[in-house]
Structure 1
Amino acid sequence: MNEKQRKEMTQQIREGNPADVKSDQDNLNRLKEKTSDDFVKYFQTTYQPPDIKKARKRGKEEVKYHQDFSVSDDLVGIGKGKKFLIRTYGCQMNEHDTEVMSGILTELGYEATTDTHEADIILLNTCAIRENAENKVFGELGHLKPLKREKPELILGVCGCMSQEESVVNKILEKHHHVDLIFGTHNIHRLPQLVKEAMFGKEMVLEVWSKEGDIIENLPKARRGKTKAWVNIMYGCDKFCTYCIVPMTRGKERSRRPEDIIQEVRHLAAQGYKEVTLLGQNVNAYGKDLADIEFGLGDLMDEIRKIDIPRVRFTTSHPRDFDDRLIEVLAKGGNLMPYIHLPVQSGSSEVLKQMNRKYTREDYLELVGKIKNAIPHAAFTTDIIVGFPNETDEQFEETMTLYEEVGFESAYTFIYSPREGTPAAKKKDDVPMEVKKARLQRLNALVNDYSNKALQKYEGQVVDVLVEGESKNNPNVLAGYTPEQKLVNFEGPKSAIGQIVKVRVTNTKTWTLDGEMIEEAAEVK
């Protein structure tokens, strides 16, 4: 295929953020009739892979806000009598994206199912943070191939962060021809049109925008349950940690308008939700891109604090953006929960420098001290990466001692996983895997010990528990969380589900508490 022919093809993997995207599936179909090698070569030529150098230089282009999402009349009902299934991998942001996609598919007439054999459309909403997450997705694609062969009208799609990676798209094109639909993180609002193209077209539908999308309000959401809700307050990340692919898969930071967020939380409160969690890849950078007002996360939470909803949380924070205003507001308490998830990643200033975290060990400890002074009863958890390229024994020991000094009550721990397209992936690493595994084992032993000690202090105490439902291990036992995010299992009536009840702790374990309910519900002021 020569250059002239290539230019004639409408680019399905798009750069920029066109306000009016028109599909040209016929061009893609003509292209697919070429050999597989030509097809892959074309996309290798047109697709823009994550480029951290270009991403660092990107400007703060104006983000457009759209309040007018709707499903066009010709698409309403195209899913009537059909069912959908979405498998979700990764973070809370992906979980919330799944809620949005479920809402859109429901508006198209589809019904949800958990049975792959019942589904008429299956979407894999993917995560690109670690190699293991990608392996799970490709494994699932392999498992679904016989089903697609048995049921050719099934629409099988891949979306989410993995779809934003060139290597992933190429691998699907080369080895997974049974996939019907690929789209990314910036064009979820285009799902109705994409489903129509996949339903009536003969070939794969592929639309991934390399550049960030606008902010689309009023997207439908099919939330899981009526007790807890996630609320996106911003998208993307500008921090460019050297190990992280998120700035390339999710784009630059874009904040929603505060009035839209506050309205959504008020609506959830009116519907009877008991807890909201404000979401962002770097949630406490909220508002830094709003040029016309000075309004940060602290200001937003101060407004939400006044809404009649019992519990408010936020995730995930970056230590660089955890400012004094936010601490001041969190210290007011009320419905703002005393739980701080603050990823440190390493306890070594040198490793943190290599990670481009832009703070030192001393900076982090100073911040933790400020928060503890303002909120003495706050529970701290964190994320830690073990085995960053060339991490020394001494640097790992600094992580261990920092964990003890802060007194974290839990942590998500990982062995470093190189991600293609990031600077860290290019580093030569002289630390053997067996050494990394041994370090992780030592760290996890420390994490378990501190979790056990943190929970022991609850022995005999009466705690407020937001009851989420039945325990995963025993349908006769209820389970829920304290304000400090501790899981409590106890026997009680099913009528307690969705309520905040008082529970006396009778037994403590490494990760959970056992208790007995002492009254039906706790009034929350």
Structure 2
Amino acid sequence: MDEKPPHAAPAPGSMDRSRMRFYIETYGCAANRGNSEAFASALVEAGHRRSSQEEADLVIVNTCAVTERTERDIRRRLSELQGERLIVAGCLPSAIPEAVRDLRCREVLGILSAPSGRRIGEAFPPEPELAGSGRMTRDLCAVVNISEGCLGSCSYCIVRRARGPLRSRTVQEVAEEVRRRLKEGAVEVQLASQDAAAYGLDLGSSLPELIDAVAEIEGDFRIRVGMMNPGQVKPILEELIRSYDDPKVYKFLHLPVQSGSAEVLRSMRRGYTPQDFLSMAARLRAAFPGLTLYTDVIAGHPGEREEDFAATEELIKKAEPDKVNVTMYSSRPGTEASRLKDMPSRLKKDRSRRMTRLWKEIAGRRNGRYLGEEIIAQVTEMGRGGTVMARSANYRKIVVNEPLPLGSVHRFKIVRTTPFYLKGEAIIRE
């Protein structure tokens, strides 16, 4: 969507072209971060500079519309930023254009991309001294989007309305971007999309084929595969396990279950059963015993009874995920579920709290097994207060209170554990 709000500020090009500095604020999923990175890279290639919000000539907000609360928070933020510097982009204007219609801003975009970045960049020819400005970063993680849209028809989800049907990039296109990001210094490549397991189904390709191609690229780096819906994992499970066996692939799985009730999953139109999820998770953990498993749960979907939520709690106890992203059901305009009767907020909040307590207890116990262990991990991100964050082969987060260089690999002794991360001390440099 490229429509301009009725009260838009002057068109790009009217500002002082010698000062084109930009700031991007991103909300939502890894795919949104990948969209922002592609857009920013196009601007940098055109000679423009990243900057702080205060110094920026353009402030780009890449929005999310996944829940009502997220939409409300972002609309409040957009209201604070509105003016001639602001560009609004992402899922909110794509899925709910009326949400930004009265906002004062320079331009409204849809999903960010390299082409939209080039178009904006061309409107601001830079002065020679600005050309070639690098990217500001506090980590060595590159998010590479492998597709847009999805094949799902989930009754509660607005993402397909925002991003459309599945459109995969070719294996060659993804590999080329990975090589470019590695040259920029990345040591972690995150393959992101709305459903990584659906990758290539519109091209006659597959996710395992893509993983194999990326893993063959020369260089010392790791691959993190993004969220995969169980319904699309099932037909490629054995090939996926074969691809995951490559040492470059983090032993990490984000497999969202959403509910442990077969009836609720049918209402959600998820396309799998609770037992399907448990079987897939068990098969992958059998292949990779140290696998880190993330999942998602929606608390309070319309029609969810107490026994349905109790079934979800039992499923989580059986699966023992290392993290559960808990979301209270939120009605989204235009979705099938929005026509159903919503349940009281107090019930959704209660179930959300119960699930959060449960997964933290499980995660604390699972992380506790690492206390006193020695783990080899690579420093990938800067933390707060002089700390850094390292990732192990199974994508465990290790927080280190030492100023170790980004990209360096160390052996860490785990001296403390929490449900969220491990605390490590470097003992031997590899």
TM-score, normalised with respect to structure 2: 0.89
Tell me which of 225, 233, 237 is aligned to 2:150. Answer: 237
Given that residues 448 and 510 in structure 1 are in contact (C-alpha distance below 8 angstroms), is that contact kept between their aligned partners in structure 2? Answer: yes
Alpha-carbon distance in 1 for matches of 2:48, 2:184: 24
Given that residues 236 and 247 in structure 1 are in contact (C-alpha distance below 8 angstroms), is that contact kept between their aligned partners in structure 2? Answer: yes
1:487 paired with 2:382, answer no
Q: How does 1:226-375 map to 2 (within 5 A)?
A: 227-290=140-203, 294-307=204-217, 308-322=219-233, 323-375=236-288
Shift of 1:112: 1.7
* Helix, strand or coil at the partner of 2:295: strand
Q: Sort the Cα spacing of 1:181 and 1:376 in 2 relative to 1 into closer, same or farther, 3 A.
A: same
Aligned to 1:111: 49
Shift of 1:92: 1.1
Q: Sort the Cα spacing of 1:311 and 1:191 in 2 relative to 1 into closer, same or farther, 3 A.
A: closer
Q: Sort the Cα spacing of 1:393 and 1:157 in 2 relative to 1 into closer, same or farther, 3 A.
A: same
Given that residues 389 and 398 in structure 2 are in contact (C-alpha distance below 8 angstroms), is that contact kept between their aligned partners in structure 1? Answer: yes
Q: Sort the Cα spacing of 1:435 and 1:518 in 2 relative to 1 into closer, same or farther, 3 A.
A: same
Aligned to 2:415: 506
Task: Give the letter aligned to residue 312 of structure 1.
Answer: I
1:456 paired with 2:365, answer no
Tell me which of 82, 90, 94 is aligned to 1:160. Answer: 90
Given that residues 466 and 499 in structure 1 are in contact (C-alpha distance below 8 angstroms), is that contact kept between their aligned partners in structure 2? Answer: yes
Aligned to 1:128: 65
Given that residues 93 and 100 in structure 2 are in contact (C-alpha distance below 8 angstroms), is that contact kept between their aligned partners in structure 1? Answer: no
1:465 paired with 2:377, answer yes
1:93 paired with 2:21, answer no
Given that residues 139 and 406 in structure 2 are in contact (C-alpha distance below 8 angstroms), is that contact kept between their aligned partners in structure 1? Answer: no
Aligned to 1:80: 18
Tell me which of 373, 378, 382 is aligned to 2:291. Answer: 378
Aligned to 2:130: none
Alpha-carbon distance in 1 for matches of 2:406, 2:283: 36
Given that residues 139 and 381 in structure 2 are in contact (C-alpha distance below 8 angstroms), is that contact kept between their aligned partners in structure 1? Answer: no
Task: Give the letter aligned to residue 81 of structure 1.
Answer: R
Deviation string, structure 1 residues 169-204 (Cα, Å, up to 9, x no partner): 33433x42x2221110177613454577799xxxxx
Given that residues 100 and 221 in structure 1 are in contact (C-alpha distance below 8 angstroms), is that contact kept between their aligned partners in structure 2? Answer: no
Given that residues 42 and 121 in structure 2 are in contact (C-alpha distance below 8 angstroms), is that contact kept between their aligned partners in structure 1? Answer: no
Task: Give the letter aligned to residue 317 of structure 1.
Answer: M
Alpha-carbon distance in 2 for matches of 1:188, 1:274: 22
Alpha-carbon distance in 2 for matches of 1:362, 1:245: 26
Task: Give the letter aligned to residue 323 of structure 2.
Answer: S
Given that residues 102 and 221 in structure 1 are in contact (C-alpha distance below 8 angstroms), is that contact kept between their aligned partners in structure 2? Answer: no
Alpha-carbon distance in 2 for matches of 1:87, 1:505: 34
* Helix, strand or coil at the partner of 1:327: helix
Q: Sort the Cα spacing of 1:137 and 1:221 in 2 relative to 1 into closer, same or farther, 3 A.
A: farther
Structure 2 unpaired stretches of 5+: 126-132
Aligned to 1:182: 108
* Helix, strand or coil at the partner of 2:411: strand
* Helix, strand or coil at the partner of 1:510: coil
Given that residues 99 and 223 in structure 1 are in contact (C-alpha distance below 8 angstroms), is that contact kept between their aligned partners in structure 2? Answer: no
Aligned to 2:78: 141
Given that residues 46 and 121 in structure 2 are in contact (C-alpha distance below 8 angstroms), is that contact kept between their aligned partners in structure 1? Answer: no
Task: Give the letter aligned to residue 482 of structure 1.
Answer: S
Alpha-carbon distance in 1 for matches of 2:94, 2:227: 21
Task: Give the letter aligned to residue 328 of structure 2.
Answer: I
Deviation string, structure 1 residues 8-56 (Cα, Å, up to 9, x no partner): xxx965xxxxxxxxxxxxxx89xx5xxx9xx9xxxxxxxxxxxxxxxxx
Shift of 1:108: 4.2
Aligned to 2:332: 419
Aligned to 1:54: none
Task: Give the letter aligned to residue 65 of structure 2.
Answer: A
Alpha-carbon distance in 1 for matches of 2:45, 2:240: 41
Alpha-carbon distance in 2 for matches of 1:355, 1:103: 37
Given that residues 99 and 221 in structure 1 are in contact (C-alpha distance below 8 angstroms), is that contact kept between their aligned partners in structure 2? Answer: no
Given that residues 80 and 108 in structure 1 are in contact (C-alpha distance below 8 angstroms), is that contact kept between their aligned partners in structure 2? Answer: no
* Helix, strand or coil at the partner of 1:444: helix
Alpha-carbon distance in 2 for matches of 1:447, 1:137: 28
Given that residues 38 and 113 in structure 2 are in contact (C-alpha distance below 8 angstroms), is that contact kept between their aligned partners in structure 1? Answer: no
Deviation string, structure 1 residues 85-131 (Cα, Å, up to 9, x no partner): 12111111111211122223334443222233x22111111001111
Alpha-carbon distance in 2 for matches of 1:253, 1:400: 32
Structure 1 unpaired stretches of 5+: 1-10, 14-27, 40-73, 149-153, 200-219
Alpha-carbon distance in 2 for matches of 1:232, 1:285: 13
Question: What is the count of residue pairs matched by the alignment?
Answer: 416
Shift of 1:399: 0.4
Deviation string, structure 1 residues 139-192 (Cα, Å, up to 9, x no partner): 1222234xx3xxxxx332111111113xx433433x42x222111017761345
Aligned to 1:53: none
Q: Sort the Cα spacing of 1:464 and 1:359 in 2 relative to 1 into closer, same or farther, 3 A.
A: same
Given that residues 155 and 181 in structure 1 are in contact (C-alpha distance below 8 angstroms), is that contact kept between their aligned partners in structure 2? Answer: no
* Helix, strand or coil at the partner of 1:384: strand
Mean CA deviation greater in 259-268 or 239-248: 259-268
Task: Give the letter aligned to residue 119 of structure 1.
Answer: A
Alpha-carbon distance in 2 for matches of 1:101, 1:511: 31
The higher radius of gyration belongs to: 1
Given that residues 80 and 110 in structure 1 are in contact (C-alpha distance below 8 angstroms), is that contact kept between their aligned partners in structure 2? Answer: no
Shift of 1:328: 3.0
Task: Give the letter aligned to residue 88 of structure 1.
Answer: T
* Identical aligned residues as a percent: 28
Alpha-carbon distance in 1 for matches of 2:58, 2:112: 20
